[in-house]
Amino acid sequence: MLNIPDLNRLKVFYCIYVRRSVAGAAQELNITQSAVSQQLKKLETELKTQLFTRLHKTLVPTSEAQQLQAIIAPFVHELEVGLRAIRQAKSIPAGELRVGSTHEFGKTYLPRIFATFRSRYPDVSFTLQLGDAKRLLPGLLQGQLDIALIDEYLTQRMAPEELNPFSFEKIIDEEVVLAGSREYCTERLNNDFSLENLALQDYVSYHHDGLALTNWFKHHYNKSALDLNIVLETESLQAVMNGIQNHLGLSVIASHLAYDDIRRGAIVPIPTGKKAILNCISLARLQDKVPNLTEKTFLAHFRREVQQTGVFRDFLRIVEGAGDAQN
Residues that bind its own copies (CB under 8 A): 1-8, 10-11, 15, 28-29, 47-50, 52-56, 58, 60-68, 70-72, 74-76, 78-80, 82-83, 85-87, 89-90, 95-98, 140-143, 146, 165, 286, 288-290, 292, 294-295
Q: For residue 136, give Cα distances in angstroms to 26, 145, 216, 285, 286.
A: 50, 8, 24, 10, 12
- Contact window for DNA (CB under 7 A) among 15-23, 96-104, 115-123, 220-228: 15-23
Instruction: Sketch the per residue contact string, 282 through 301, with DNA: x for CB under 7 A, - otherwise.
Output: --------------------
Residue 301 binds which entry of DNA, its own copies, none, with Cβ cut-offs from 5 to 8 Å by kind? Answer: none
Q: Are 123 and 293 in contact (CB under 8 A)?
A: no
**Does 38 sit near DNA (CB under 7 A)?**
yes
Taken in order 242, 251, 174, 235, the sign of the CA dihedral is negative
Q: What whole-number distance in Å separates Cα of residue 321 and Cα of residue 255?
A: 13
Residue 222 binds which entry of its own copies, DNA, none, with Cβ cut-offs from 5 to 8 Å by kind? Answer: none
- Residue 282's SS3 state is strand
Interaction residues for DNA, span 172-191 (CB under 7 A): none
In the complex, the smallest distance separating the C-beta of residue 74 from its own copies, rounded to whole angstroms, is 8
Residue 108 binds which entry of its own copies, DNA, none, with Cβ cut-offs from 5 to 8 Å by kind? Answer: none
All residues at 6 or more sequence positions from 242 whose CB lies less than 8 Å from its CB, including other chains: 248
In the complex, the smallest distance separating the C-beta of residue 153 from its own copies, rounded to whole angstroms, is 25
Nearer to its own copies, 97 or 267 (CB): 97
Residue spans of alpha helices (H) in the chain:
7-19, 22-29, 33-47, 63-88, 103-108, 110-120, 133-141, 152-155, 160-163, 182-187, 195-199, 212-221, 237-245, 259-264, 293-308, 310-326
**Does 32 sit near DNA (CB under 7 A)?**
yes
In the complex, the smallest distance separating the C-beta of residue 6 from DNA, rounded to whole angstroms, is 5
Q: H or E segment at 100?
A: strand 95-101
Residue 222: count other Cβ atoms within 10 Å of its Cβ.
8
Q: What whole-number distance in Å separates Cα of residue 274 and Cα of residue 289?
A: 40
Nearer to its own copies, 30 or 308 (CB): 30
In the complex, the smallest distance separating the C-beta of residue 144 from DNA, rounded to whole angstroms, is 18
In the complex, the smallest distance separating the C-beta of residue 295 from its own copies, rounded to whole angstroms, is 8
**Does 50 sit near DNA (CB under 7 A)?**
no
Nearer to DNA, 35 or 266 (CB): 35
Among residues 180, 172, 161, which one has the least CA distance to residue 244? Answer: 180
- Of the candidates 1, 3, 57, 159, which one interacts with DNA according to CB under 7 A? 57
**Does 34 sit near DNA (CB under 7 A)?**
yes
Residue 67 binds which entry of its own copies, DNA, none, with Cβ cut-offs from 5 to 8 Å by kind? Answer: its own copies
- Residue 210's SS3 state is coil
In the complex, the smallest distance separating the C-beta of residue 42 from its own copies, rounded to whole angstroms, is 14
**Does 21 sit near DNA (CB under 7 A)?**
yes
Taken in order 224, 230, 157, 103, the sign of the CA dihedral is negative
